[in-house]
Each structure stands twice: as C-alpha cells, then as structure tokens.
Amino acid sequence: MKTATEARSGKGHRDENFPVASHLIHPRHRGPILDFYYFVRAGDDVADNAGLSPERKIALLDGLADALTGKGPDDPEAAPLRRSLAERGLPPRHALELLDAFRMDAHKSRYETWDELAHYCRYSAVPVGRFVLDVHGEDPGRTWPTSDAICTALQVINHLQDCGKDFRSVDRVYLPRETLEKHGARIEDLGAERATPALRAVIKDLAQRCLDLLEEGRPLPDLIDDTRLAMEIAAIHRLAVLLARGLLVRDPLSETVHHGKAAFALTALGAAATALARRPFRRHLHPALRGARP
C-alpha cells in the first residue's frame, strides 16, 4: 500500500511548463514557494497515480491535509511547508484548496461545461498564484482578480498541451463536452496520433478563451509592489501568451507547442525587462496604485 512519498513521479519544479520560483524571485521567498510546490506536487502525483484506487488516493490526500494542519501524524511531504507557513504566519488555506482539486481528480474524469472546468481551475490553479502573492505580502484586493485570470489560463493551456497524454494515460479529459459537441469532435479523437479538424477547432476555441483570460490578467505585473515578483509574473504571462497562440496553429497531439529552452528564456527575459522599465510609470498607468509602495 503506497504512501504519498512512494507515489512520487519524480517530477520537479524544473520540469514544469512555466517557471516555478525562478531566480528572479528574492531568495527569502523562494524557499516557502518551493516548499509549497513540492507539497502540491506530492498531492498531484497521488491523484495521477494509476496504481492507486480512488479510495486510496483520497485517504492519502486526507493524510497530507492532516499532516499539514497538525490534525494527524507527521508526513515528510508536508513538514517543510508546515514549517514555512508557521515561520511566515500564513494559513494552510491555499494548499488545502489544491488538495480539494486532487480529490476531484481522484473521482472525476470528464467536464461538461467551461464553467465546470473553470470551477476546477479555481481549486487546481488559482491558489498557487494567491499563495505566491501572499508570501510577498501583496494586497489581495488589488492583485488576486488578475492573478486568478492568469492562473486559470495557465492551467487550461497545460490541459490543452497534454490533452492526448491525459486521455491515454489516465483516461482524463479536461476539454468540456459542450465544446467538443459544438465543433463535432469526439472524446475518442484524443487517442489518435493527429488531431482531427473538429478537435483542432475545439483546441483553438479553448486557446482563444485562454488568450482572453491572459488579456484580463495583463495588468498584474504593474499592480505588484515587489519588483522581482512583477518581473517573474511578466515573464510567465508572456510565455503563456506565446503558448496559447501556438495552440491556435499547432496540433498538440502531433506537434510540439512550446519552443526550445533558449527561445523561452529569451522571451521571458524580454518580458521581465519590459516590466522593469514600466516600474517608474505604473502609478500613472494605474491610479489605484497611488498609495502603493515604490
């Protein structure tokens, strides 16, 4: 009977599609963010483990939650984050919400509507951005709405890139049924080596929704007080736009959507530099910032 540690996939923060606590983040904040990432990674690996029953997945996820909150025995996957939260005086809310998303994954493999998928993203992606902002002491009222839009887009972009793999490996489909039916696509199309024209239309439809969300989130770097975090978010946002645009013209079943590491690094660097250049003018661009830290 596997533990959460035994269910580990071996995937780390450098294997993700988007930067996780890059060196743009100040060293004093990187530790808590990485502790959060590896706790969440442990829960995600449990939810994705094909050798575990849904009931065992739920039990392991409950154990992680209890270890994090102190209601149950210690767990090596939870201990670092628990210490970081205590040191910062932060609640476990965001990590617990992500465990709720993994509980959904344990039992749910299909989504009917865009709103249903967005609800899943509220628990599977939105808490990540909110945690990073909280670690930096940012104003939730000013930053959470745009962060939520970006995080939702990032999650759906990941789903679109991995749609074939998710279907084949764990029989999980995040493409909403209503969007598949709208374009005359079938779930079984995800098992092919190449996307059908109907499935390509579905992917384009959802990629455009992601671009709309990213446009909604575009002001976030200017709204953040911490300059290094603003640069990190600007880089992630630019990379997300690049990937969403790639999904408009590439087939994730048969083509690589993302560019090479060098091209991604150059794109991220350019976005970070642009965000830095905008810092002196952000109060003029966003009147709500007139009382913010320099």
Identify the residue whose tokens are 């990629």. 207
Whether residue 181 is predicted with pLDDT greater than 70 in this model: the reply is: yes
Among the residue ranges 140-154, 229-243, 270-284, the one predicted with the least confidence is 270-284
Write phi, then psi, for 232 (nearest 5 degrees): -65, -45
Instruction: Provide the 8-state DSSP code for 52.
Output: S
The pLDDT of 179-197, averaged and rounded, is 97
The most confident of 41-45, 181-185, 258-262, by mean pLDDT = 181-185
The span from the CA of 286 to the CA of 51, in Å, is 51
* Domain ranges across the chain: 1-92, 108-279
Position 15 pLDDT exceeds 50:
no
Instruction: Specify the pTM.
Output: 0.90
- 173 Cβ contact partners less than 8 Å away, ≥ 6 residues apart: 109, 110, 111, 163, 166, 167, 187, 190
DSSP summary character for residue 251: -
- pLDDT band at residue 24 using 50, 70 and 90 as cut-offs: confident
Please name the amino acid found at residue 125.
Answer: A
The CATH class for the domain spanning 108-279 reads mainly alpha
Q: Is 49 helix (H, G, I), strand (E, B) or coil?
A: coil
Per-residue model confidence as pLDDT tens digits over 46-102:
999 988 999 999 999 999 999 999 999 999 999 999 999 999 999 999 999 999 999
Give me the amino acid identity at 184. G
* CB 64 within 8 Å of CB 4: yes
**Least confident piece of the model among 12-26, 179-193, 252-266, 268-282:** 12-26
What is the pLDDT at residue 259? 65
pLDDT exceeds 80 at position 151: yes
Q: Side chain identity at 270, as an amino acid letter?
A: G
